[in-house]
Structure 1
Amino acid sequence: MLIWIAAVLGAIALGLVVRHRIAFLTRVRSCSMSPTLNPGQLLLATRVNRAEAVARGDIVVVTSVELGQMIIKRVIGEPGDLVIIDDHGHIQVNQVPLVEPYVAIPAGPAGAFAVPQGHVLLLGDNRIHSSDSRGWLQPFLPAAAIQGRVVGEALGHSMAQRQQCGDPSRTRHP
């Protein structure tokens, strides 16, 4: 009996260490990353501890103080980058056009963003209807706000649990 209790407590401890130090599961709650990710998808994310652990193009889970919740976005600007978005939604990073096959319709407000050290610039793949760095009061999130990097969909997740985004033109999504 004592062995079983020790095994259960050990498994719980191991699970807590994995969740808080190595990896965690998170569910997509909005259409802001559509068509790449859709509501209902269960994702596996690995923990990150510094800005160098993520790179342009990575999908990350961050804690947004401004929005008051955890959100999922794509890293577009890294520390020190100059990101320019033109009137048609096309992006240049450090004067080099960014190729974005994951964006169905490039759009959104034009702007120039000089990403400060220790921060990142994040955008949703559903550019028309994503609440992201382009419209936040503070467009740059500190690297410390990054909780994890999405590495894939959780195994055993049913396609039936996903919701399609339909016409997202009615609202913006965090």
Structure 2
Amino acid sequence: MRWFEIALVALTAVTGLVWLLDRLFFARRRAERAGLLEEKEPVLVDYSRAFFPVLAAVLVLRSFVAEPFRIPSSSMMPSLLIGDFILVNKFAYGLRLPITNTKILEIGEPQRGDVVVFRPPHQPDQDWIKRVVGLPGDTVAYRDNVVYLNGKPLSYRPLGRYVGKGRGADMTGAMLLEEGLPGRPHPVLERDDVPFFIQGEGEWTVPPGHYFVMGDNRDNSEDSRFWQAHFLPESNLRGKAFLIWMNFDRSTGGIGIDFSRIGSGIP
């Protein structure tokens, strides 16, 4: 989506500049040449005047208020499904400039359990989504499918077996659990039918200005456990996911829209 952001900024700047230059210099000259007759406005100026307010409004809303994203993978199942369209709060963690993502105003910081959109350190041109598990200064460990936070294991409440659908049907039969992350219990999936699966076990201490993030689909998520750097820099945050506004998955049959997910919050 970065190409769209660059194109939006460029089009907004070009149309705004054309409109401004015309108002400051060329419109008056046309009026003087025309006298009592109305001289037709150049096509470029006409289009710029029409599109600039729309482009500027979209840019402001998308950059500083809320931005739509689409979930392309199963790493956040069962909380988010393949085909979910979500809205991301762009000012939850501070106002940032488009393209560069430079923070210009401090507002808030991520909390444990927040579902965040970010640009991973090793894939800076992509937008990923995971859940914040470790804050700066925390020690996070993962052993035998259990998350340990500052030396204490999180609680897990069995919720039965998961039944997937659409492109997430391959997760049918996985264990559905509620993970007791302090302040934000949420569902997670674990596979117990793949005994030799590498689970990304280890222990990590989160440095200042960084976060430890994990996917809710624990055996199918490329997250902090597997990154070479392990931690997400605060500067790579894009916003906080807060709403599912649409789900579209053609593999489910019919029109492919799951109306039951429209308007759902994100646990």
TM superposition score normalised by structure 1: 0.79
What is the alpha-carbon distance in structure 2 between the residues aligned to residue 55 and residue 21 of structure 1?
20
Mapped pair 1:84 → 2:141: yes
Asked whether the equivalents of residues 51 and 119 of structure 1 are also in contact (C-alpha less than 8 Å), the reply is no
One-letter amino acid of the counterpart of residue 148, structure 1:
G
Mapped pair 1:144 → 2:242: no
One-letter amino acid of the counterpart of residue 83, structure 1:
V
What is the alpha-carbon distance in structure 2 between the residues aligned to residue 112 and residue 122 of structure 1?
13
What is the alpha-carbon distance in structure 2 between the residues aligned to residue 72 and residue 163 of structure 1?
22
Mapped pair 1:104 → 2:167: no
Asked whether the equivalents of residues 69 and 87 of structure 2 are also in contact (C-alpha less than 8 Å), the reply is yes
Paired position in structure 2 for 1:58: 114
Secondary structure class of the residue paired with 1:132: coil
Deviation, structure 1 residue 122: 0.7
Mapped pair 1:30 → 2:118: no
The 3 A distance-change label for structure 1 pair 63 and 51 is farther
User: How many matched pairs?
Assistant: 160
Give the ranges of 4+ consecutive aligned residues of structure 1 lying more than 3 Å apart after TM superposition: 5-9, 159-164
Asked whether the equivalents of residues 51 and 144 of structure 1 are also in contact (C-alpha less than 8 Å), the reply is no
Asked whether the equivalents of residues 38 and 162 of structure 1 are also in contact (C-alpha less than 8 Å), the reply is no
Unaligned runs of 5+ in 2: 1-47, 95-105, 155-179, 193-198, 253-267
For the pair shown, which has the larger CA radius of gyration, 1 or 2? 2
Structure 1, 62-71 or 47-56: larger mean CA deviation: 47-56
The two structures, once aligned, show a CA RMSD in angstroms of: 2.8
What is the alpha-carbon distance in structure 1 between the residues aligned to residue 251 and residue 235 of structure 2?
31
One-letter amino acid of the counterpart of residue 80, structure 1:
G
Structure 1, 118-127 or 51-60: larger mean CA deviation: 51-60
Secondary structure class of the residue paired with 1:139: coil
Once the two structures are superposed, what CA deviation does each residue of 1:137-168 show, in whole Å capped at 9, x if it has no partner? 110010110101101112xx2x443767xxxx
Unaligned runs of 5+ in 1: 165-174
The 3 A distance-change label for structure 1 pair 162 and 30 is farther
The 3 A distance-change label for structure 1 pair 67 and 41 is same
One-letter amino acid of the counterpart of residue 56, structure 1:
R
Query: How many percent of aligned residue pairs carry the same amino acid?
Result: 33
Asked whether the equivalents of residues 41 and 162 of structure 1 are also in contact (C-alpha less than 8 Å), the reply is no
What is the alpha-carbon distance in structure 1 between the residues aligned to residue 109 and residue 191 of structure 2?
27
Deviation, structure 1 residue 95: 2.6
What is the alpha-carbon distance in structure 2 between the residues aligned to residue 113 and residue 46 of structure 1?
28
Asked whether the equivalents of residues 29 and 39 of structure 1 are also in contact (C-alpha less than 8 Å), the reply is yes
What is the alpha-carbon distance in structure 1 between the residues aligned to residue 128 and residue 251 of structure 2?
17
TM superposition score normalised by structure 2: 0.53
Asked whether the equivalents of residues 84 and 248 of structure 2 are also in contact (C-alpha less than 8 Å), the reply is no
